[in-house]
């Protein structure tokens, strides 16, 4: 019944987000952002084909490296200056704005 429920339902139906872990009041992690971006892109454009592999220093802490690697290859997300990705770190509003702009430029 919340104001965003219709849009969330559309995203669930499109497979962009799952129903088991959607927490609307929580901050989104960088890895979760990659997952949603890639699913949204693939829903609209088809599968992302990439042979480019992001080489992050904290790769072992990234549970969905495929999504992170695809988001990186599409130019949607970048690593940190120290070479890490920091998948469980929350995204800032500035990062979200930049990522949304990049996503819209891919359409």
3-state SS assignment for residue 41? helix
49: nearest Cα among 32, 31, 30, 66? 66
Q: pLDDT digits over 52-96, tens only?
A: 678 899 999 999 999 999 999 999 999 999 999 999 999 888 999
Whole-prediction pTM? 0.88
CA 54: distance to chain centroid?
Answer: 14
Give the pLDDT band of residue 101 (cuts 50, 70, 90): very high
Rounded to whole angstroms, the Cα distance separating 88 from 63 reads 10
Residue 100's Cβ-side half-sphere holds a number of Cα atoms within 13 Å equal to: 7
Q: How many residues does the chain have?
A: 107
The pLDDT of residue 53 is: 74
The pLDDT of residue 26 is: 87
Question: For residues 65 and 81, is the Cβ–Cβ distance under 8 A?
Answer: no
Pull the structure tokens for residue 105.
């430029």
Q: pLDDT digits over 26-50, tens only?
A: 888 999 999 999 999 999 999 998 7
- Cα radius of gyration (the chain): 14
Residues 95-101, mean pLDDT to the nearest whole number: 93
């Amino acid at each position: 019944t919340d104001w965003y429920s219709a849009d969330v339902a559309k995203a669930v139906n499109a497979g962009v987000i799952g129903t088991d872990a959607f927490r609307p009041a929580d901050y989104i992690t960088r890895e979760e952002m990659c997952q949603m971006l890639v699913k949204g892109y693939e829903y609209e454009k088809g599968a992302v084909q990439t042979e480019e592999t992001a080489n992050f220093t904290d790769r072992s802490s990234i549970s969905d490296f495929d999504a992170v690697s695809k988001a990186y290859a599409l130019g949607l997300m970048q690593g940190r200056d120290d070479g890490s990705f920091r998948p469980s770190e929350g995204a800032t509003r500035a990062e979200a704005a930049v990522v949304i702009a990049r996503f819209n430029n891919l359409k």
